Structure 1
């Protein structure tokens, strides 16, 4: 997943809010935050109890992490290949460049990087809910520690393209917000699967945005498929409760999520990601 060395990045699309590291974790959903409906839509709207247990206990007191100056650090594709935060900038730039070409009047959405907890228009965010999109302020929120949790706690292989899939999924929710799908009354599973499909559509077309040297390779796409499977409701329920209850699914099974991403990636057309086809 190599960026073109000379491509110019637009770091204004990503804000580093800083935050707290160390013993700042806590159990339960963040206060005031709503999952679905008029609140957040997330890659994985579930409290990761086993993750939070590992974060708590005898942890050191939380320490403030100052914001990073992305404007100075993230200027070209070469920077994106060398820094995780700059890679996020490059991925966000490519995703929004693609959707700007597809949607008339597309309004950019800023990604906010944070650690620990952060107040948003959808309530107080924490790493307990994973990456999410907030329709209230039309922003994507991302605690970078989730990528380590995706690998170490959810069993995904991880990797740069797994990260890109996560970000592209959340921008899929922004597209839904702009097109009215979030207010359509559709249930959460097809909404989440459509966001996965939109992520695949971007992956199919990403090289056309000019940010990458070449199309993504099969091993890179495999990272996304593996991540999609890892955040399936069935896999998470099995890990957290030891049983699977399809009636309580909110995001779709591992198979559904993989199939949705593949549908978008293979066809490369947003129109093939209809809610009716993804139920």
Structure 2
């Protein structure tokens, strides 16, 4: 996937988190395999307190920590060469799409969500953000948290390719959770948290599908001046996204971490399921095709 070089990036949609290598993960030790496996699946923060937590919402940046610099992110050309700028361009594109796609009524109209781009660690109302947890959406403050260095892990450790759409899929998936929050369905992940047909798996597969819906329309999204942000997707782009979806399947991560697969502990779905639901969203381009909560077969 390629950004149009003359498109403008809107950095007002992102915030900078602190850079720190210290601190303790909330809810478990940093050495826990289970913690790392759950965190790197991509999704709602596993430490989410369901509407409240031990951190004040003002604690996005850790005291004394340096900020991530966005000054180099001005145009689509910057997004093509720099991963932080690519995150910003993806945020711009995803939000431009969902502003128009969601019904404009009082209960379901889209509202923008900031992405906090940090380095190392930062605090969120849902817990400590770090690469031991991975990218996540925190419903308490309606923000996405992501360290650009995660994409190196996604490729080197989990086997996704290093294509742009593999990275952009991650961002679009997290915004899928924000859409779910607006629609009132995100809560199902907390009511039924594990198992191959659990509410958690259904919510995560829906977010994959919503990422696919955005991908279908990505080449129609525009910057504030009406310049198209993204060039039409190629088959290679889609294969890149599918490689990321497969890399974070429960079965693949469990097999890599423990040598075995236990569907009863799944929280996000298998590699095949994640690919299939992304493809469903991409091929249909329709929010209504993503109703995993009612689907008899996942």
Q: Same fold (TM over 0.5)?
A: yes
Name the residue aligned to 1:246.
263
Name the residue aligned to 1:76.
75
Name the residue aligned to 1:196.
208
Q: Does 2:227 match 1:215?
A: no
Q: Does 2:147 match 1:135?
A: no
Q: Distance in 2 between matches of 1:18 and 1:239?
A: 31
Structure 2: segments with no counterpart, 5+ residues: 37-44, 53-63, 193-198, 223-227
Q: Does 2:147 match 1:148?
A: no
Cα deviations across residues 200-246 of structure 1 (Å, max 9, x unaligned)? Answer: 00000001113445311101110110110110000001000100111
- Whether the 8 Å CA contact 2:166–2:244 is kept in 1: the answer is yes
Structure 1 residue runs of 4 or more that deviate by more than 4 Å after TM superposition: 21-25, 33-37
Name the residue aligned to 1:206.
218
Name the residue aligned to 1:110.
114
Secondary structure of the 2:4 match is coil
Q: What displacement does 1:65 show?
A: 6.8
1:21-170 aligned at under 5 Å gives the runs: 26-28=30-32, 29=35, 34-35=46-47, 38=50, 66-70=66-70, 72-103=71-102, 104=104, 105-170=109-174
What root-mean-square deviation, in Å, do the aligned CA atoms of Structure 1 and Structure 2 show?
A: 2.4
Cα distance change on mapping 1:162 and 1:213 into 2, 3 Å: closer
Q: Which has the higher helix share?
A: 1
Q: Distance in 2 between matches of 1:65 and 1:120?
A: 14
Name the residue aligned to 1:14.
14
Cα distance change on mapping 1:118 and 1:213 into 2, 3 Å: closer
Q: Distance in 2 between matches of 1:189 and 1:149?
A: 23
Name the residue aligned to 1:60.
none
Secondary structure of the 1:118 match is strand
Q: TM-score, normalised by structure 1?
A: 0.84
- Whether the 8 Å CA contact 2:221–2:230 is kept in 1: the answer is no
- Whether the 8 Å CA contact 2:200–2:267 is kept in 1: the answer is yes
Q: Distance in 2 between matches of 1:155 and 1:23?
A: 28
Q: Distance in 1 between matches of 2:241 and 2:171?
A: 11
**Aligned residues between the structures:** 253
Q: Distance in 2 between matches of 1:119 and 1:16?
A: 11
Cα deviations across residues 233-278 of structure 1 (Å, max 9, x unaligned)? Answer: 0000100010011111110001100000000000000111012226
- Whether the 8 Å CA contact 1:21–1:65 is kept in 2: the answer is no
- Whether the 8 Å CA contact 1:27–1:128 is kept in 2: the answer is no
Structure 1: segments with no counterpart, 5+ residues: 41-63
